[in-house]
Chains A and B, each alone.
Chain A
């Protein structure tokens, strides 16, 4: 027998974390014809569409929260990726007698496992997440005493405390002024780089996507529209015009992409 040299295979990072194949999504009835969508490792997927377009349904289907009417959800890692989830903050009740630290620790619940209590390691991870988000001094503050922006940051800190591979944000910039929106998106970019994350973000705000997402999915079940592709291809006046039923202009202003939806007129 000759000598066999073992070849060290360098594990390559799978290209995709979650994939929908010919998926038919919807709550009680299908919203759209079968669609394909993948969250690529290291990418930032922006899901864009008007109010009530089916964005959240798409996100929930991607996360396996909503059963599919058809097609399948594929997990190329062989398991579900660890997800840090930032829900729409107005869905949460601010009147609960919880401190910021109580909420951020929830991000550790599944890592700790059932029955066991949060330990020193979990507390330190929660505090580190708060520090990283820039609200390290708020750990002991009750939920009801937070501003909307602070609450949003607490939810992001909780998602980071979950040690995620995929950070998912559902309408994170709704009801935010443009400066706060920019700061939040910059924060997510920073976290993405620092934690080697993939990001999926749902929004109806065009400016949130431009210059932020690497891939964009356009969705509107009213128009039976679903398209996905690289951001530079998708943020196209014609495609966005079809999505919103209005004329859309895309322009570069100060190195950033500005998107303007005209008030009058139909699709181009």
Chain B
């Protein structure tokens, strides 16, 4: 009980990161249903890394121009890492919407290549002698830390989440149709590319902003685990979405609390808590297999 008392006493410290985690858990829980059903889980990891390249590029550009993008308040708007992060993620999302493929390379291979090259680029740029002294600050901006989250990032995350939810609410039937059966949607005269682009851009913006706020690992986990857990429990799309959002929110809140009380890494603890939601579904599968 003293653990909770201590935790409550320190609420001024954890309120903002908790809000960020819960927001990320909720919106990624929603988007994750589409990510998992469309079999594009690697796209979310790739978008996270590619948006990281945008941040690293902003620092590299700042170093070249002699401006420190991390020095808040006096950087030109155009050098703001968030803009580069969003720009890179959105361009990648638009390219993924073109369903890139090659005679010998499946689209998932190309997404994988995007992930690998982006990861390497982030490392290469961060360790460039020009910006090495700022690497720690860049690392926090790149992949967050879920422990301290600036108010500005919460606002950005809230705006991104709101935009994504509004897009999904307005175009739900179209997004569902083009995601489930794009071929028939085209025949029936729907602009499949338009809706794929909308879906991927909404995903890219949320992933890009959430990665900065709570870190790459929880973002990847929240966009896969809650949806996977929900899909194992129900065969109704709306219930799947509701459960996935609920699992995302609980994972973030309980994960933050446990990490505080047990002095564990915050992002990793959130992921472990999220993974617990897979258990009921796994038990269900095991029971079915045993029959």
Instruction: Report A's interface with B, CB cutoff 8 A.
Output: 28, 63, 65, 80, 83, 85, 87, 91-93, 95-99, 102-103, 105-107, 109-110, 112, 114-115, 117-118, 142-145, 158, 162, 168
Contacts and interface: CB of A to CB of B under 8 A. Distances in A.
Most buried by B among A83, A99, A114, A162: A114
Contact of B180 (A80, A106, A107): A106
A114 B103 CA distance: 34
Contacts of B185: 106, 109
Contacts of A158: 184
A115 B172 CA distance: 8
Interface in B155-194: 170-174, 176-177, 180-181, 183-190
B127 interface: no
B173 A109 contact: yes
B240 interface: yes
A28 B239 CA distance: 42
A65 B171 CA distance: 23
B187 A97 contact: no
A7 to B, nearest CB: 35
A145 B288 CA distance: 14
Nearest to B181: A92
A109 B177 contact: yes
B231 A97 contact: yes
Contacts of B171: 114-115
Contacts of A162: 188
Nearest to B191: A114
A97 B235 contact: yes
Nearest to B170: A115
Interface in B177-235: 177, 180-181, 183-190, 231, 234-235
Given A63-B187, A65-B187, A87-B181, A97 B236 contact: yes
Contacts of B180: 92-93, 96, 98, 103, 106
A202 to B, nearest CB: 13
Contacts of B190: 109-110
Given A65-B187, A109-B174, A162-B188, A97 B181 contact: no
Nearest to B233: A97
11 contacts: A63-B187, A65-B187, A83-B188, A95-B231, A98-B180, A106-B181, A106-B184, A109-B174, A114-B171, A115-B171, A168-B187
Most buried by B among A91, A99, A109: A109
- Listed from nearest, the 10 A-B pairs whose CB atoms lie closest are A142-B235, A85-B187, A110-B188, A97-B235, A97-B240, A106-B177, A85-B184, A97-B237, A110-B189, A109-B177
B184 A114 contact: no
A172 to B, nearest CB: 14
A102 B188 contact: no
A99 B236 contact: yes
A102 B238 CA distance: 11
**Which of B103, B183, B185, B234: most chain A Cβ within 10 A?**
B183
Given A91-B183, A92-B180, A109 B236 contact: no
Given A109-B174, A118-B173, A162-B188, 6 more contacts: A85-B183, A87-B183, A97-B240, A106-B181, A117-B172, A142-B235
Nearest to B194: A114
Given A28-B103, A107-B188, A102 B237 contact: yes
Contacts of A28: 103
B176 to A, nearest CB: 8
A168 B237 CA distance: 28
B276 interface: no
B75 interface: no
A102 B240 CA distance: 14
Contacts of A117: 172-173
A143 B103 CA distance: 32
Which of the listed residues B177, B180, B184 has the most CB atoms from chain A within 10 Å of its own CB?
B184
Given A96-B37, A98-B180, A109 B188 contact: yes
B193 to A, nearest CB: 13
B39 to A, nearest CB: 8
Nearest to B190: A110
Contacts of A168: 187
A16 to B, nearest CB: 18
Contacts of B186: 65
A114 B24 CA distance: 28
A115 B174 CA distance: 8
A103 B176 CA distance: 10
Contacts of A65: 183, 186-187
A85 B182 CA distance: 12
A63 B37 CA distance: 27
Nearest to A63: B187
Contacts of A99: 235-236
Nearest to B238: A97
